[in-house]
Amino acid sequence: MAISDVKEYTHLTEEEVEQIGRELDAIRAEIEDSRGAADAAYINRMITIQRALAAAGRVALFANAASDKGRKPTWAAGAGLLAVAKILENMEIGHNVMHGQWDWMNDPEIHSSNWEWDTAQPAEQWKHSHNYIHHQFTNVLGYDNDIGYGILRMAREQKWHPANIGQPVYNALLATLFEWGVALHDLDIERIRKGEKDPTEMKRQLKQIFRKGRNQVLKDYVVYPALSGRRWRSTLTANLTANVIRNLWSYVIIFCGHFPDGAMHFTEEEIEDETRSEWYLRQILGAANFNGGPLLHIMSGNLGFQIEHHLFPDLPSNRYAEISVRVRELCDKYDLPYTTGPLHRQYGQALRTIIKLSLPNRMTSSDQPPPITEPPTPARDRKRRTDEERPSRRRELGGWMRSAS
């Protein structure tokens, strides 16, 4: 079910919604004022650990290459260490640095304008498709391209097509090749398919993706294998294994953030004249958390606190755990849903949605709670909006710019 009025859906008065906004603004101000040496030490420590893991993985693979017969333990250690290093770089470091979470440090090496991460999508395109489009228009049909990534039907309001029958297969391919799926995300495949994409901009983006993708392929599948000499195949398969593990993990974490039961979708009517407080409320309703210990949260980029991340995308990720306590208290105070659960359950619900929505609505039932004050939104083919048609971005979503090249 898609919501067209969050105030009406939650039975909140306009004053109550604005009060929620004021309380969330107060949380933001307190965290901003308390950022300091401990937070800076945290991100520097994460970067040091990540680089040490990557170096250890390379050492293990070179040791394997130096052996006459090769050793399965050193190969497994090398592949495993590289996988953990890539996950940590993508999730807790790259994603959060590019959100501007550490810009307040004024460190040019850990700044959203300079960081280029170890994956196939250029940072510039990620900051546009993710920081701006996804975070400003979270789960809004026709605006947020993350609803299905252009290949999956993830909402009952999205028009069904016979091609959706193949969703379980598309989903498996997307999970395995996730970094390459993400690399193409800002192209907006749906608008290209409909002939609505500016050819000049598409050509510029494709060139940028080609350069970044080429460098990733050369690094993992040419340079490092070549340095391993006659055992180059061993290093190549270890790099491939590490990338696939990283892809599968990133895919699972991201899909747990917006597709479990309880994470709502919204119609374009909801964002008409949307206030800052209503934007806050939509983030709470449109996101989902998962439970876990400190290590799980670090390895997931602290996206187990997806609700808090969407409320405060530019605040340091290591503060989300403490913020979550206050956000949950606020939700209890105003009787708002706070969607959370074990990781396996959240992903299981997302996977069930993928499978069910491969079929027409008449053949399945909805897993979302029934509408309270409004009828279900009829399915219709929603046109993707261009940047010129979308409202201006909010300041906490971070900066991005189109390259002149």
At residue 374, the pLDDT reads 46
The pLDDT tens digits of the residues spanning 265-278 come to: 998 888 888 899 99
Average pLDDT over residues 203-224: 96
**Contact 137/390 with Cβ under 8 angstroms?**
yes
At residue 404, the pLDDT reads 39
Average pLDDT over residues 174-179: 96
Average pLDDT over residues 383-399: 52
**Contact 286/336 with Cβ under 8 angstroms?**
no
The pLDDT tens digits of the residues spanning 30-69 come to: 999 999 999 999 999 999 999 999 999 999 999 888 876 6
At residue 204, the pLDDT reads 94
Average model confidence (pLDDT) across the chain? 89
Rounded Cα distance, 373 and 394, in Å: 29
The DSSP H or E segment spanning 175 is: helix 167-176
- Give the confidence band of 142 by pLDDT, cuts at 50, 70, 90: confident
At residue 384, the pLDDT reads 45
**Contact 367/339 with Cβ under 8 angstroms?**
no
Claim: this prediction has a pTM higher than 0.85: yes
**Contact 290/346 with Cβ under 8 angstroms?**
yes
**Is the pLDDT score of 124 beyond 90?**
yes
Average pLDDT over residues 386-400: 52
- Give the confidence band of 367 by pLDDT, cuts at 50, 70, 90: low
Higher-confidence position of 367 and 200? 200
**Is the pLDDT score of 110 beyond 90?**
yes
At residue 67, the pLDDT reads 76
**Is the pLDDT score of 381 beyond 60?**
no
Rounded Cα distance, 218 and 213, in Å: 9
